[in-house]
Amino acid sequence: MDRIRIVGGNELHGVIPISGAKNAALPLMIASLLTDDTLTLENVPHLADVEQLIRILGNHGADISVNGRRERQSESYARTIHFTSRNIVDTTAPYELVSKMRASFWVIGPLLAREGKARVSLPGGCAIGTRPVDLFIEGLTALGANIEIDGGYVNATAPQGGLIGARYQFPKVSVGATHVLMMAATLANGTTMLGNAAREPEVADLAKCLNAMGAKITGQGTSTITIEGVHSLSGARHRVLPDRIETGTYAMAVAMAGGDVILEDTDAALLDTALEAIRRAGAEISQTNSGIRVVRNGAGIKPVDIVTDPFPGFPTDLQAQFMGLMTKSEGTSHITETIFENRFMHVQELARLGAKISLSGQTAKIEGVSRLKGAPVMATDLRASVSLVIAGLAAEGETMVSRVYHLDRGFERLEEKLTRCGAHVERVSD
């Protein structure tokens, strides 16, 4: 099993290209099930989660090629992938596929809208909280679906004539449920209005793609999204937006290790709140023609308190990384997690490096230390794993991160990108 070895102490200098957003690519890929034409997606990252979803879509009958070649023949990055779901051959998403990645549950929306039925296993994914599917079921039921849960599967059928437009108010903000209901509503009869909808850039990116396919969606990027149902959708070509979580992660890595790095092909507007927190911690951040420049030379890391919130608040997917940064701050900081109830599993691993962190409910108190010391640590989930890398960049000696398959789910070529900027990071195979 692979591990990541980090020898800390090197500043970062150079350019890091930012990949396409995993959290945008996955729903965009699933949207290909809504049409029998070809959906072409550019800037798709090469990640384990993307490969898993390719297998799931293939199980439903999608024909998938990379730049005109079969998927398995390509080893390229920032890929252009063509998805053609001319015939849906199976409306069941089995447990052995869905259990490996939570987002694969989202196929329930397009399958139900296009085929009138779907049988989808209850999902799996990172162990960072329960993340129930109640909102998905309530929302699809509001569109007229009949849903039963039996034997670990969600069995859904649409009324004769298809789903029906409706008003649905999310009791709490859910990015996944917003994706699913927006996709399902594109082919519903009548108009759907989603209240308290997620405002994340990835939701707006999906709406942009769906509109290019012939959907009629307005209000994306706000808390009220309106979808006027259409009879069918066509193919389209769409470029996946930059990964704001990867952008924030590398910005924090520079703030932690020190140095001067250009984060290329990204946009500060995608993560204003997170970048402002990094500025307050002592880094200089500016937008350039090619991306974002992050600089920290000489100044210490200042303590900053944050609270995770839905967009435009501080992203929960950057919480662990920011905690890694705060372990070396010159003072005490507090991080409150409001999205997932079990997203502090990285605390014990950071403590192995010498971090001083205490927990009280959903708030972590981090007392900055002057020295971190490398140690063997274990990744517990996707974002927690990269927080250990960030801490390792500033730790004395060697940090060895095991269970890095979590990293491969969401970070494309992480060790290569950091190494090119002067970090001592390498992948070690047992």
Q: List the domain boundaries for the chain.
A: 2-19+242-429, 22-239
- SS3 of residue 369 by DSSP: coil
Place 201 in a pLDDT band, splitting at 50, 70 and 90: very high
What's the CATH number of domain 2-19+242-429, 3.40.50.10710, 3.50.50.60, 3.65.10.10, 3.40.630.30?
A: 3.65.10.10
Instruction: Check if 2-19+242-429 and 22-239 are the same fold.
Output: yes
Tens digit of pLDDT for each residue in 11-56? 999 999 999 999 999 999 999 999 999 999 999 999 999 999 999 9
Q: What is the DSSP code string of 191-239?
A: EEEEES----HHHHHHHHHHHHTT-EEE-TTSSEEEEE--S----EEEE
Give alpha helix (H) positions in 32-87: 48-60
How confident is the model at residue 133, as a pLDDT? 86
Q: b/e per residue, 341-379, with b = 16+ CB within 10 A? A: eebbbbbebbebbbbebeeeebebebebeeebebbebbb
Poorest-confidence range of 3-12, 349-358, 380-389? 380-389
Q: Which of 389, 55, 394 is nearest to 246 (CA)?
A: 389
Helix ranges restricted to H, 87-232? 95-98, 108-115, 134-142, 175-185, 201-212
In this model, does residue 155 exceed pLDDT 60?
yes
209 is catalytic: no
Q: Over the stretch 250-267, which tens digit does the pLDDT of each residue have?
A: 999 999 999 999 999 999
What is the token pair recorded at 76? Answer: 């390229």
Higher pLDDT pick, 248 / 78: 248
- Region of residue 418 (left: phi > 0; alpha: psi -120 to 50; beta: else): alpha
H/E element holding 247?
Answer: helix 244-257
Known binding residues are 22-23, 102, 131-135, 172-175, 317, 339
Residue list for the binding site for UDP-N-acetyl-alpha-D-glucosamine: 102, 131-135, 172-175, 317, 339
Least confident segment among 92-96, 285-289, 337-341: 337-341
Examine the pLDDT at 72 and tell me if it is beyond 80: no
pLDDT above 90: percentage of residues in the chain:
84
Only one residue has tokens 């890095």, namely 404
Distance, in Å, from the CA atom of 278 to the CA atom of 60, rounded to the nearest integer, reads: 43
Residues ≥6 apart with Cβ < 8 Å to 365: 332, 333, 334, 357, 358, 359
74 three-class SS = coil
Task: Cite the DSSP H helix spans in 258-404.
Answer: 272-280, 319-326, 346-352, 382-394
For residues 292 and 315, the answer to whether their CB atoms sit within 8 Å is: no
Taking each helix axis as running N to C, give the angle between helix 22-31 and helix 48-60, from 0 to 180 degrees, rounded to the nearest 10: 10
> In the prediction, which pLDDT does 77 show?
63
Which among 389, 347, 393 is positioned nearest to 367, based on CA atoms? 347
Residue-wise burial string across 231-270, b where 16 or more C-beta atoms lie within 10 A, e elsewhere: eebebbebbbbbbbbbbbbbbbbbbbbbbbbbbebbbbeb
pLDDT exceeds 70 at position 70 = no
pLDDT at residue 59, as a whole number: 95
- Helix and strand numbers, DSSP H then E, in the chain: 14, 25
Res 129 pLDDT > 50: no
CA nearest 275: which of 252, 253, 298? 252
Residue 117 above 90 pLDDT? yes
Topology (CATH level 3) of domain 22-239? UDP-n-acetylglucosamine1-carboxyvinyl-transferase; Chain (3.65.10)
Report the percentage of the chain scoring pLDDT > 70: 95
Spot the catalytic one: 25, 28, 50, 126.
126
* Cβ atoms within 10 Å, residue 297: 11
**3-state DSSP call for residue 331?**
coil
Classify strands 12-17 and 259-264 as parallel, antiparallel or unpaired: parallel
